[in-house]
Amino acid sequence: MRGNSSTIRTNTAVTTVAALLAGALVLTACSSGDGKKGSGDTSGGATASGSGLTLPRLNGASLEVAAVWTGTEQKNFKKVLAEFEKRTGAKVTFVPAQDPIINFLGSKIAGGQPPDVALLPQPGAIKQAVDKKWAKPLGADALKELQKNYSPGWQDIGKVDGKQYGVYYKAANKSLIWYNAKAFENAGAKEPKTWQELLTTAQAVYDSGVTPFSVGGADGWTLTDWFENVYLSQAGPEKYDQLAQHKIKWTDPSVKQALTTLAQIWGKKDYVAGGADGALQTEFPNSVTQTFTGGDQPKAAMVYEGDFVQVNIGDTKAKVGTDAKVFPFPAVGSSAPVVSGGDAAVILKDSKAAQALATFLASPDAATIQAKLGGYLSPNKNVPDSAYPNPVQQKIAKALIASGDDFRFDMSDQAPQAFGGTPGKGEWKDLQDFLKNPKDVAGAQAKLEKDAAAAYGNGS
């Protein structure tokens, strides 16, 4: 949901997360569960070793689960669903959804065929599902599992009007920049800690004959993530919260400052692979793979995005931690940003089977299965660090859990979907236009404000 419950109001995680990702801190691994029964405590249940989770037998039950995930991410999630089938006897069908998922669900519901459970990628979408009376509250078993395994902040962003509707099964650390280690080595470039150092690093890479950045501009959401990191670090958490709720306008001077800063990279044609036109034709997966292919001459040396980039690196020959390395998004202001995102399981057709699946997805059992497969991050504090397949992913997971409730949730995901979550419209389109013409800061602000005012009901 939007509002204060989606934006935790402390900022001490910034230095903690940055230090963890830089390898400066060593934390003990999280425990794998406390042995209590979680949910669905019925006879004939199947219990996971060590977790204490008992699920009901659901022989004959069938469920449909909808999500926008594709490729490897979808394949890995299906393995989690297969484990649920094995433990309960239920049959689960994955339904591929399209963005924006609220529109997809609306058409399914209008046709009388809603999925039982949907994975919603925005708190704004959860609120819309509740407002439309599609979403069903979590039952006692799912609540018990959620409360055992999640910090209050991760519980709160799945609530609407104080009632729990969402289980944040998947999280994302969206404050990372991945780089081609060989390209950095050839350029004599170092991992930057500040924005100015990032510009210096970019120049060193450019001077070595490699384009500094790959930008997946065909997908507008990547551009919103760029903006959010710059804005959070530069304007600060209070302004971030105000803009997220449209309590200040997009014509505010703080937005001008952030866009002007972004233009220092977006506005330099030779700093972006393919220039603006090329970036706007590059989809997110390709923005990653072109950074880690081509030997000593990749199309770019760096690509910004979250921990899930690892899934796409896996489509190349590059090895995470050796060929593909990562550093925290540099500090633009006084401290580095910590922006998080995630996908929440929401029940649309209430049943014993749907509640059992929500309970399973709230458990460390489910998350551990997908964690082992890579390219996935869980906000579940009882998933052991050892479940993640490499030291880089383990550091990112530690950082997320260590931050507790000290993060800011993705701003565009908090917005009404018409503004923050629809291809070709609202913030996605406005920032694509800005990428094409980074000199027109005032024009971009005016477009953003016009679209935000319409989506929020002019609630500034």
Question: What is the crossing angle of helices 140-149 and 352-361, to 10°?
Answer: 0
Is 32's pLDDT higher than 70? no
| pLDDT, average across residues 251-260 | 98
**Which residues face 237 on adjacent strands?**
none
Query: Based on the domain organization, do 184 and 272 belong to the same domain?
Result: yes
Mean pLDDT, rounded, of the chain: 89
**Residue 295, pLDDT score:** 86
Query: Based on the domain organization, do 284 and 345 belong to the same domain?
Result: no
Query: Based on the domain organization, do 123 and 44 belong to the same domain?
Result: yes
**Residue 14, pLDDT score:** 43
**Residue 458, pLDDT score:** 62
pLDDT band per the 50, 70, 90 thresholds, residue 334 = very high
What percent of the chain shows pLDDT beyond 90?
79
**Residue 40, pLDDT score:** 33
Residue 228 belongs to some domain of the structure: yes
**Regarding predicted confidence, which is higher, 290 or 70?**
290
Residue-wise pLDDT for 420-456, tens only, equals: 989 999 999 999 999 999 999 999 999 999 999 999 9
- pTM here is 0.79
Counted domains in the chain: 2
CATH code, domain with 270: 3.40.190.10
Is 45's pLDDT higher than 70? no
Query: Based on the domain organization, do 216 and 297 belong to the same domain?
Result: yes
Residue 32 belongs to some domain of the structure: no
Expressed as residue numbers, the domain containing 248 is 176-337+415-456
Residue 12 belongs to some domain of the structure: yes
**Residue 245, pLDDT score:** 94
Residue 33 belongs to some domain of the structure: no
Query: Based on the domain organization, do 267 and 314 belong to the same domain?
Result: yes
Give CA–CA dist 138/126, Å, rounded: 13
One-character DSSP codes across 149-213: HS-HHHHHTTEETTEE-EEEEEEEE--EEEEEHHHHHHHT----SBHHHHHHHHHHHHHTTS-SE
Query: Based on the domain organization, do 9 and 49 belong to the same domain?
Result: yes
Is 459's pLDDT higher than 60? no
Query: Based on the domain organization, do 283 and 368 belong to the same domain?
Result: no
Query: Based on the domain organization, do 54 and 96 belong to the same domain?
Result: yes
Query: Based on the domain organization, do 97 and 203 belong to the same domain?
Result: no
Residue-wise pLDDT for 199-234, tens only, equals: 999 999 999 999 999 999 999 999 999 999 999 999
Residue 145 belongs to some domain of the structure: yes
Query: Based on the domain organization, do 254 and 298 belong to the same domain?
Result: yes
Query: Based on the domain organization, do 448 and 349 belong to the same domain?
Result: no
Query: Based on the domain organization, do 289 and 219 belong to the same domain?
Result: yes
One-character DSSP codes across 34-79: -----S---TT-EE-TTT--EE---TT-EEEEEE---HHHHHHHHH
| pLDDT, average across residues 80-93 | 98
